[in-house]
């Protein structure tokens, strides 16, 4: 019988046939798996992709250049002094419910989180890989954004506009962790596994996940779509190679943490930041 650890290693290898261990799981028929994938993303990042596309269309129809408009990532939710912290924490918690949903669906099928590498079995290796990825991709991403903004392909992205309260940095760090967990677990771990179980070729699954990742960043402009799609393809390839989602969660969290906190510290203090 295939164990969860064996399943994770088999899935990490691109040539491992899913049929070898599918029989050990309680998976629904393929048609139900397709409905499951649709339902998960219809209430989460898929809906975000549609809304982002509509936001971009609205920005284009405004007859203003994209670089003259703003896209806010983390901002105030209320004008009531002292209540923002509660709303921010509740908003972050609510936005993580799709992660709970996919973990439940996987558990119902007999799949532990470890089959996508969502565990603490390799903390040192996961952290090292995540830090290296964050350094390489974060730097390249910043350069791409500045170029896209100068070329008019990106809105002026405002990473955060929280009030200067004592909880500002902790909330920004929690927001970064939220982004890393939500996107990598759903778009990489869950989606690629389900598409693999449906018999998709690895490159097609990675391409689909990359386009999805780019789609829900469209509200930031075309540059953000391209940059995040490329990042998604790279993350998909590395996930197929490693069979673990944790390094990607670490990398994404670090990239966003540096973006959010760095902007809060540097805005209006450096000339190269739009």
Structure confidence by residue, pLDDT tens digits, 150-186: 777 666 777 778 888 889 999 999 999 999 999 999 9
What pLDDT shows up at residue 13? 43
What pLDDT shows up at residue 201? 97
DSSP H/E element including 160: strand 156-160
Q: Residue 230 to residues 203, 206, 210, 211, 254: CA-CA distances in angstroms?
A: 13, 10, 7, 9, 18
**C-alpha radius of gyration, the chain, whole number:** 19
**pLDDT 10s digits, 17-33:** 455 455 567 777 888 78
pLDDT band at 45 (very low <50, low <70, confident <90, very high): confident
Write the Ramachandran bin of 246: left for phi over 0, alpha for psi from -120 to 50, otherwise beta. alpha
pLDDT band at 68 (very low <50, low <70, confident <90, very high): low
pLDDT band at 54 (very low <50, low <70, confident <90, very high): confident
**pLDDT 10s digits, 229-241:** 999 999 999 999 9
Global confidence as pTM:
0.77
What pLDDT shows up at residue 157? 75
Q: Is the dihedral of CA 256, 258, 260, 263 positive or negative?
A: negative
Beta bridge pairs of residue 71: 157
- pLDDT > 50? residue 148: yes
Chain centroid, CA 225 distance in Å: 13
The more confident residue out of 157 and 81 is 157
Token digits of residue 147: 């170029």
The answer to whether 58 and 71 have CB atoms below 8 angstroms apart is no
């Amino acid at each position: 019988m295939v164990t969860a650890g064996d399943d994770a290693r088999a899935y990490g290898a691109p040539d491992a046939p899913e049929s070898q261990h599918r029989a050990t799981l309680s998976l629904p028929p393929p048609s139900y798996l397709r409905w499951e994938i649709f339902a998960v993303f219809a209430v989460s990042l898929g809906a975000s992709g549609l809304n982002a596309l509509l936001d971009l269309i609205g920005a284009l129809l405004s007859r203003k250049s994209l670089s003259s408009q703003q896209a806010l990532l983390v901002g105030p939710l209320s004008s009531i002094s002292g209540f923002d912290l509660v709303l921010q924490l509740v908003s972050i918690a609510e936005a993580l419910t799709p992660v709970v949903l996919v973990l439940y669906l996987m558990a119902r099928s007999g799949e532990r989180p470890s089959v996508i590498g969502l565990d603490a079995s390799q903390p040192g290796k996961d952290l090292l890989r995540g830090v290296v990825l964050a350094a390489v991709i974060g730097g390249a991403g910043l350069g791409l954004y500045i170029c896209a903004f100068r070329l008019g392909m990106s809105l002026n992205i405002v990473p955060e506009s929280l009030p200067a309260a004592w909880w500002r940095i902790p909330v920004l760090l929690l927001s970064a962790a939220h982004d890393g967990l939500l996107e990598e677990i759903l778009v990489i771990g869950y989606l690629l596994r389900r598409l693999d179980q449906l018999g998709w070729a690895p490159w097609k699954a990675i391409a689909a996940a990359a386009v999805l990742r780019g789609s829900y960043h469209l509200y930031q402009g075309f540059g953000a779509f391209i940059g995040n799609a490329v990042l998604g393809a790279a993350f998909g390839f590395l996930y197929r190679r490693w069979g673990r989602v944790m390094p990607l969660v670490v990398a994404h969290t670090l990239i966003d943490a540096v973006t959010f906190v760095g902007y809060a510290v540097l805005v209006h203090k450096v000339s190269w930041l739009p």
